[in-house]
Structure 1
Amino acid sequence: MRILLHPGFHKTGTSSLQRGARARTRDLDPYLRVLLTPDISGAARAARRYSARPSARTMARFSEEFAAAIVRLEARDPRALMISSEDLGGYLPGLRGVLTYHAAPALAQAAVAVLRAYFGAAAAISVLYTTRDAEPWLKSLYWQNLRAQRLTEDFETFRARLAPAADLGGIVAETRALLGAQAEVHGRAIEACGAPPLGPLGAALDLLDLPKDHLAPLPRHNLQPEDAAARLLALNRSGLPDGALQEAKRAVLRDHRRSASPET
C-alpha cells in the first residue's frame, strides 16, 4: 500500500489540502483513507510538546500517541493512506519559544518508524512538505502569531527574529538526509502546486498515484485583508485585559470572514 505523511509546514496551503480532502471524502473514500489533526489529536499535542521541550521522554510520548492512532486502522485495507497535520512538525514558529522547525526531521523519522512497524516493509511511504517563498510565508506567520498571542512586535522586527524559520527547504533537505531509504521525502512549493483546480491536494494525490480528474474543482481561499495585521497589532499593544482582547480579536476575525474566504 501507499502511505503519504504530510506534516506541514504551517501557512503553506495545509488548510487548503485538508479542507479539500474533507470536501471530497465521498469521491476519495473508495481508494484513499485520510487522517487529519482531529483524528490524531494526541500525537499532534505530543509533537508540539516535543518541539518546545525536546527530550527522549517527549519523543517517546509522541511515538506512543502516534502509534495509538495508527493501530486503529485496518492494516490489510488495500487503500492508500494520507495523514495530514501541520502540528506533526511541532509548534507554529513564534509560539512557546519555538523559533524554527528544528524538531520536524526527528518527528518525521519517528512517525515513519511507527508506520513501517505497523504496515510492514512492503508499504511505500512518502513524506510531503508543502513550502512557500520566505517573504509571503513570514507575513502569514506574523498574522497567525498576532492572532494567537499578545505579540507587540512590528513586522520588520518579527521578520528579523523569525527569518531562520523561513528556510523550509533546508528542513526538507535535513529530513531527506535523516530518513535516507526509510521513506521518500518531497518538497512542493505552494507557488507551484497551489493553483486550481485542486491546489495542494492535487500534488498529494499525484504522489500517491491516485486518480483526480473526476474531482470537482475546489474554491479559492483568500489571505487576510491588508489592514487586518495592523488592527490586531494595535489591539495587542493596547491595555485591554486578556478576555476583552480576545473578544476584540474575534470581532476583527469576524470582519475578515465577512470580507474574504478563510485563509490558507
Structure 2
Amino acid sequence: MRILLHPGFHKTGTSSLQRGALARAHDLDPHLRVLLTPGIPGAARAARRYSAQRSARTMARFSDEFAAAIRQLDAHDPRALMISSEDLGGHLPGLRDVTTYLAAPALVHAAVAVLRARFGARAEITVWFTTRAAAPWLQSLYWQNLRAQRLTDDFETFRACLAPAADHARIVGETRDMVGSEAEVQSCDIETCGATPLGPLGAALDLLGLSGDHLAPLPRHNLQPEDAASELLALNRSALADNALAEAKRAVLRKYRRTSVPED
C-alpha cells in the first residue's frame, strides 16, 4: 500500500488540501483513507508540545500518541492512506516561543517509524512537504499570528525574528537525512501545485498513484483580508481586555471577508 505523510508546513496550502479531501470524500473513499488533525488529537498536541519542549519524554509521548491513533487503522486495508496535519511539524512558528521548524525532522522520523511498524516493510511511505517562498510565507505567518495571539510587533520586527522558520528547504533536507531509507521525502512549492484545478490535493493524489481527473475543481480557503493586518495590530496594541479584543478581531474579519484575497 502507499502512504503519504503530509506534515505541513503551515500556511502552504494545507487547509486547501484538507478541506478538498473532505469535500471529495465520497469520490475518494473507495481508493483512499484520509486521516487529518481531528483524527489524531493526542498526537497533534504531543507534537506541538515537543516543538516547545524538546526532550526524550515529550518525544516518547508523541510516539505513543501517534501509535495509538495508527493502531485504529486496519493494517490490511489495501487502499492508499493520506495523513495530513501541519501539527505534526510542531507549533505554528511565533506561538509558544517556537521560532523555527527544527523539531519537525525528529517528529517526522518518529511518525515514519510508527507507520513502518504498523504497515510493514512493503508499505511505500512518502513524506511530502508543501513549501512556499519566504517573503509571502512570512507575511502569511504574521497575519496568522496577529489573529491567534496578542502580537504587538510590527512586521519588520516579526520578520527578523521568524526568518529562520522560512527556510523550508533546510527542514526538508534534514528530514530526508534523518528518515533515510525508511521513506521517500519530497516537497512541492505551493506556487506550483496550488495553481492547478485541484490545488495541492491534486499533487497529493499524484504521489499516491491516484487519478483526480474525475474530481471537480476546488476553491481556495483561508482568505486573508488585504488591509486587515494593520487593524489587528492596532487592536493587539490597545488596552482592550482579552474578551473584548477577541470580539473586536472577529468584527474586523467579518468586515473584510467580502473583499478578501485567497490565502493559505
> TM-score, length-normalised on structure 1?
0.97
**2:204 matched to which residue of 1?**
204
**2:185 matched to which residue of 1?**
185
Q: Which residues of structure 1 form unaligned runs of 5+?
A: none
Aligned with 2:257: secondary structure?
A: helix
Q: Indicate how the Cα distance of structure 1 residues 93 and 53 shifts in structure 2: closer, same or farther if over 3 A, else same.
A: same
Partner amino acid, structure 1, of 2:210:
L
Q: Indicate how the Cα distance of structure 1 residues 180 and 105 shifts in structure 2: closer, same or farther if over 3 A, else same.
A: same
**Distance in structure 2 (CA, Å) of the matches to 1:156 and 1:189:** 24
Is it true that 1:151 corresponds to 2:151 in the alignment?
yes
Conserved? CA contact 1:222–1:260, under 8 Å: no
**Distance in structure 1 (CA, Å) of the matches to 2:253 and 2:111:** 34
Conserved? CA contact 2:220–2:263, under 8 Å: no
Q: Which residues of structure 2 form unaligned runs of 5+?
A: none
Is it true that 1:252 corresponds to 2:252 in the alignment?
yes
Is it true that 1:138 corresponds to 2:99 in the alignment?
no
Q: Indicate how the Cα distance of structure 1 residues 191 and 261 shifts in structure 2: closer, same or farther if over 3 A, else same.
A: closer
- Using the TM superposition, name which of 138-147 and 212-221 deviates more: 212-221
**Distance in structure 2 (CA, Å) of the matches to 1:51 and 1:221:** 26
Conserved? CA contact 1:49–1:90, under 8 Å: yes
**1:15 matched to which residue of 2?**
15
Conserved? CA contact 1:37–1:87, under 8 Å: yes
**Distance in structure 2 (CA, Å) of the matches to 1:23 and 1:14:** 14
**1:110 matched to which residue of 2?**
110
**Distance in structure 1 (CA, Å) of the matches to 2:223 and 2:171:** 25
**Distance in structure 2 (CA, Å) of the matches to 1:78 and 1:198:** 24
Aligned with 1:205: secondary structure?
A: helix
Conserved? CA contact 2:15–2:222, under 8 Å: no
Aligned with 1:95: secondary structure?
A: coil
Is it true that 1:50 corresponds to 2:50 in the alignment?
yes
The Cα of 1:224 is off from its aligned counterpart by 1.3
The Cα of 1:190 is off from its aligned counterpart by 0.2
Conserved? CA contact 2:5–2:127, under 8 Å: yes
Partner amino acid, structure 2, of 1:146:
L
Correspondence list, 1:59-78, <5 A? 59-78=59-78
Conserved? CA contact 1:12–1:132, under 8 Å: yes
The Cα of 1:262 is off from its aligned counterpart by 6.9
Superimposed CA distance per residue, residues 54-74 of structure 1 (whole angstroms, 9 cap, x where no aligned partner): 000100000111011101111
Conserved? CA contact 1:221–1:261, under 8 Å: no
**Distance in structure 1 (CA, Å) of the matches to 2:195 and 2:152:** 34
Partner amino acid, structure 2, of 1:60:
A
Conserved? CA contact 2:228–2:252, under 8 Å: yes
The Cα of 1:206 is off from its aligned counterpart by 0.7
**1:37 matched to which residue of 2?**
37
The Cα of 1:230 is off from its aligned counterpart by 0.5
Correspondence list, 1:208-223, <5 A? 208-221=208-221, 223=223
Aligned with 2:76: secondary structure?
A: coil
Conserved? CA contact 1:196–1:220, under 8 Å: no
Superimposed CA distance per residue, residues 3-57 of structure 1 (whole angstroms, 9 cap, x where no aligned partner): 0000000000000000100000000000000000000111000000000000001
**1:120 matched to which residue of 2?**
120
Q: Indicate how the Cα distance of structure 1 residues 56 and 166 shifts in structure 2: closer, same or farther if over 3 A, else same.
A: same
**Distance in structure 1 (CA, Å) of the matches to 2:179 and 2:14:** 22
Conserved? CA contact 1:129–1:172, under 8 Å: yes
- Identical residues among aligned pairs (%): 77
Partner amino acid, structure 1, of 2:205:
L
The Cα of 1:196 is off from its aligned counterpart by 3.0
Partner amino acid, structure 2, of 1:12:
T
**Distance in structure 2 (CA, Å) of the matches to 1:183 and 1:133:** 25
> TM-score, length-normalised on structure 2?
0.97
